[in-house]
Structures are given as structure tokens and as C-alpha cells.
Amino acid sequence: MDWGFIGSHITDYTAGAWVTLRFGLYGVICSLVLGLLCCLARYFRVPVLKSIAHGYIELARNTPLLVQLFFLYAGLPRVGIRLSAEACAVIGLTFLGGAYMSEAFRSGLESVDKSQREAGECLGLTRAQNIRYVLLPQALATAVPALFANVIFLIKETSMFSVLAMMDLMNVADTLRTSGGHTVEVLFMLAAAYLVLLLPVSLAATLTERRLRYAGFGNQRTV
Amino acid sequence: MEPILRVKDIHKSFDGTGVLKGVSLEIHEGEVVVIIGPSGCGKSTLLRCINGLERIDRGEILLRDRRISGLEKDMHLVRQKIGMVFQSYDLFPHMKVMDNLLLGPTKALKRSREETEAEAMQMLSRVGLADKAQALPRTLSGGQKQRVALVRAMLMHPELLLLDEITAALDPEMVSEVLNVVIDLAEEGMTMAIVTHEMRFAEAVADRVLFMEDGVIAEEGGPEEFFREPRTERARQFLQSFTYASARKKEKADSGNPGSGKIR
């Protein structure tokens, strides 16, 4: 292992990690919002919207991110819509992530007993109040593991951003590798960089899950 | 006097199967109406239609002069006036008892927290649960949960309270602690429609008994006449199903016959 090479390129990797993290997080946040909206449309069977949400989810889940990014970056300009690489990156990741987040939220909402919703309705709560105070807190407790898994999955999917010529971690490594030798060092640092980014997320997931378990609401869960 | 609730010839079916086949009733202020009948007769569905949890196919439900069809956009405004308690308590498991109680009054009715909290504490102590205000629902017994659920509904100051088999999931020794609360409410003049299988309680609390059978009200009357001398054969049979012949008496009567006592 050529430690000198690693030391001299560490700044390239921190720059790449910043791109990965920044656009990964934008995508994750937008995915959470889009996912929640789609999930609510389906859960409350909102006419028209529920079908649109369902169709979108199947389309997004069953096509690779690479294809979605190509479509945004190379396809859309043909019909006159030109987006920056960064915009394509965030839109593409959100398109993919929204579908996965929606399903994670839905698994949480479906696990909340229907009678909870009715109990909220019987108290005269509006639908929004019922969602906010009664349904979502309980749904999130169940959905948290799946939501965190999606966050990690989406941040890893940012490695596709290299096709948009963005200098994310993957592209930094690719560039270094093709510019001569040091393949082992380049890949070692790449793996290490993703680990440094994602291990804290995994840890946060474990801690949140444990907290929720000990907070135990007592429904479908033995304490 | 104008009735609080008027139900006129309502029909409701699920997947083509008629559950309510023309039910009409009126409930006056301060009146306690008990609805009994065999399971599947439509009594729970009737309650659920009254506060719009189910849409009716035909007919009309009026709370004072407000129509309830289950379709209204502002259904929550009507529901604020109708309390409902279910068999399965349905406390919110992620909230302490006090937060369960305050949610409706503070969010739906926008009442002040302090004022509601004082009232909630007072009602909790009346049902013997003052020390449970900060407990999570899962630490309570079934009977305690159901008393909390009753307080939660009452804190909305409903004009009408619907109770749907509220003791059906309870261990027998907890039934009376819940029903005594209901009897207190009745004495205070709360207007209620109660579905129950507790016949002694029904007799004690009812101003009027409705016997439902196969989606219609088959018999209606005061509790004394109804429980002593039901007019319809079907109601008589139903009431008989709550009494048992003594097994030992049967043994004695059979002992004369040769071959009795053997398992057939």
C-alpha cells in the first residue's frame, strides 16, 4: 500500500465525499417529503391522486437509477428541457427515493390499527390532525428501520452521479484509477470513504430503533 | 320536545348483503336507549352510521337539524358533538393518559390546556383513576383503559354518547367498574345509545330498549315490559339464550331413565 499516494489524494476524496453527502441528503429529504405525500394519497384513497402515486411508484421502483438519470440528462434536452447535472442528480434520486420512502411509510401506516384512525375521527379531529397526532407517530415507530435502510440505499445510489460528470466519490476514484496505477489504494480509499459516511447513519438507525423499542407503545410489541 | 337524534328509514349493505334494512328511531335529550340483539343484527353498524363512520345507502340521519350521511367534508364538526366508545378501548398507545384526554378538547375544540386539564383531573378522580394521569395506556388494565376512554369521550361535552359493546373485551370482574360509570352518566342526564350484551345492565340503565333482528328493529319498549314480557317470539328466544338450565337438575330428572348418564 502506497501511503504517500493516499495522503496526497485525501483532499480529492473529502471533496468527493462532500458532493456525495450534499446531493445525497438533498435527495433523501425530497424523497421523504414525496414519499409521505404519495403514501398519504394511497392510504386515504384520494381519488385520482392515489392512482397517480401508485403508477409513479411502480415506474420508479422498476427502472434503474442509471436509466432515470440518462433520461433526465440526455433525454429531456431533446424536448427542450435542459437541466444542470446537479438538478438532474437531485430530481433523479428523489424520483427513485420517493417510491421507496412511500412504501416504507405505508408499511408503518398499515400497521396502525384501523380503529386508531376511527378513534381519532370520533374525537372530531380533522384528517390533518388525525395524521399528525394519532397516525404518524405510531406509523413512524414501525417504519423507522425501513426508512433508515432507504437513506443508506439512496446515499449509495449517488455513485451513479458520476454519469452526470459530477465529481462525487465514485467519479473521484474513477478518475484517479484511470490516470495511472494505484488501483488498490484508490479502491481502498473509496470503500473507506463510503464507510465513514454511512456508518454514522447505521448507528443512528440502531439507536433510534432501540429508543423506540424501549419507549414501546405496547401495540404489537412485547416489552 | 324535539328529539336530539332522528334516524329515518336507513339502509346499509356491505358487498350486496343488507345489514340495515330500514331502521328508524328517535332519541330525546337525556334519554338512554339500549340496543340489543343477536350478533350480526346490525346494531353496531347502526351506531357507526350515526356518527358517519359508515355511509348510509338510503334514508336520513339528523343530529338536531344537521344531516349525517358520512360524506360531508366537515364531518369532524358533527363528530365533535357525538362521543363514541368502542369495545377495544382504542386509547392512543403513544400518549400518556392525560394526553389522550386532552387531544380532542385542545386540538378539535381549541379549548385551553389548563382549563381542560383541570376538568380532566376531576373526571379522572371521579372514575378512580387520578393516579394514572401520567401513565401510558399499556400499563392499565382493560377496565381502567375503558374508563379512560369514557372520560376521553365525555371531555368533548358531547350531545350524544354512543357506546358499542364497551365491556365485551373485559374480564368479568372488570365489567361492573366500567358500567357503574355509565350508570352515573345516565343519572346525570347524558343522552346515550348503548349496544350491549349485559342484560342486567341494560335493564338497569335503559329508558327504552330496542331489540334488533336481521337489520330491523323488531321490538321496542320500556325495560320492564321488554325484559319481563317481550312481545315477539324472537325476542323471547333471544333473552332465553342468556339463561341456563341447571346441569345438576337435569341429572336428577334423567336418573330414572335407564342408560342415562352415558355419553351419546
* B103/A118 Cβ within 8 A: no
* B136/A218 Cβ within 8 A: yes
How far, in Å, CA of A44 to CA of A27, rounded?
25
**B194 compared with B173, residue with greater pLDDT:** B194
Check the CA dihedral A58-A64-A67-A73 and report its sign.
Answer: positive
| Local structure of B67: helix, strand or coil | strand
Terminal Cα-to-Cα distance of chain A (whole angstroms):
49
* B103/A116 Cβ within 8 A: no
Average pLDDT, chain B: 90
Task: Determine the distance in angstroms separating the CA of A43 from the nearest CA of chain B, rounded to an integer.
Answer: 16
Give me the mean pLDDT over the B194-215 stretch.
94
| pLDDT of B113 | 94
Give me the mean pLDDT over the B171-197 stretch.
94
Environment class of B42 (CB within 10 Å of its CB; exposed 0-12, middle 13-18, buried 19+): buried
Residue of B nearest to A113 (CA): B90
| pLDDT of A218 | 45
Task: Say how far residue B167 (Cα) sits from the centre of its chain.
Answer: 9
C-alpha cell at B1: 320536545
> CA-CA-CA-CA torsion for B201, B206, B211, B215, nearest 10 degrees?
-100
How far, in Å, CA of B3 to CA of B31, rounded?
10
Q: Are B121 and B102 in contact (CB under 8 A)?
A: no
pTM: 0.83
Indicate the residue type of B104: G
| Tens digit of each residue's pLDDT (9 = 90 or more) over B35-69 | 999 988 999 999 999 999 999 999 999 999 888 87
Percent of chain B with pLDDT over 70: 94
Work out the pLDDT band at A221, boundaries 50, 70, 90.
very low
Decide yes or no: CATH 1.20.140.10 for domain A3-212.
no
Residue to test with chain A: of B107, B139, B141, most A Cβ within 10 A = B107
| Tens digit of each residue's pLDDT (9 = 90 or more) over A98-134 | 999 999 999 999 999 999 999 999 999 999 999 999 9
Q: Determine if residue B16 is left, alpha or beta; phi over 0 gives left, psi from -120 to 50 gives alpha, anything else beta.
A: left
Residue of A nearest to B49 (CA): A122
| Tens digit of each residue's pLDDT (9 = 90 or more) over A10-48 | 899 999 999 999 999 999 999 999 999 999 999 999 999
Q: What is the ipTM of this complex?
A: 0.86
Work out the pLDDT band at B92, boundaries 50, 70, 90.
very high
| pLDDT of A223 | 33
| Local structure of B79: helix, strand or coil | helix
For residue B228, give the H/E element and its range: helix B223-228
Does the pLDDT value for residue B245 go beyond 80?
no
| pLDDT of B126 | 93
* A216/B92 Cβ within 8 A: no
Environment class of A139 (CB within 10 Å of its CB; exposed 0-12, middle 13-18, buried 19+): buried
| pLDDT of B72 | 74
Does the pLDDT value for residue A219 go beyond 60?
no
Residue to test with chain B: of A45, A123, A131, most B Cβ within 10 A = A123
Residue to test with chain A: of B73, B92, B111, most A Cβ within 10 A = B92
Indicate the residue type of B248: R
| pLDDT of A210 | 83
How far, in Å, CA of A90 to CA of A34, rounded?
13
Environment class of B152 (CB within 10 Å of its CB; exposed 0-12, middle 13-18, buried 19+): buried
* B138/A123 Cβ within 8 A: no
Work out the pLDDT band at B161, boundaries 50, 70, 90.
very high
Beta-carbon contacts of residue B33 (< 8 Å; ≥ 6 apart): B25, B27, B192, B193, B194, B206, B207, B208, B209, B210
Percent of chain B with pLDDT over 90: 80
Domain borders along chain A are 3-212
How far, in Å, CA of B110 to CA of A125, rounded?
11
Of B51, B92, B137, the CB nearest to A134: B92
Q: Are B232 and B244 in contact (CB under 8 A)?
A: no
| Tens digit of each residue's pLDDT (9 = 90 or more) over A169-217 | 999 998 888 887 788 888 999 999 999 999 999 999 999 888 877 655 5
C-alpha cell at A88: 438532474
How far, in Å, CA of B197 to CA of B89, rounded?
17
How far, in Å, CA of B123 to CA of B184, rounded?
12
